[in-house]
Amino acid sequence: MFLIDSILLSPIKGIIWIGEKINGVIEKEASDEGLVKEKLMELQLRFELDEISEKEYDEKEKVILKQLDDIRKLKDGGV
């Protein structure tokens, strides 16, 4: 009976494992200060090359700086 259960549940376990791996990658990217700084530099370059407007730059910069601030607060132990 356990063999049949294992066979029937293996696709579900595989999907759960993939979901956990994807979640881990997302959390790492969201909490990596270097990646966020890289996004900020890319945004600045796009603005300097006139690929985006000043308004769009300001809006996106605000979001990225908030991310950076949140990461630093988490590293300091506060939320």
User: At a CB cut-off of 8 Å and minimum separation 6, what does 11 contact?
Assistant: none
Residue pLDDT, tens place only, 25-34: 888 777 788 8
CA distance 39 to 47: 12
Determine the pLDDT at residue 76. Answer: 82
Residue pLDDT, tens place only, 12-55: 888 999 999 998 888 877 778 888 899 999 999 999 999 999 99
Q: Report DSSP state, residue 52.
A: S
- Please report where in the chains the tokens 């900020």 appear, as a residue: 40
CA distance 20 to 4: 25
CA distance 46 to 43: 5
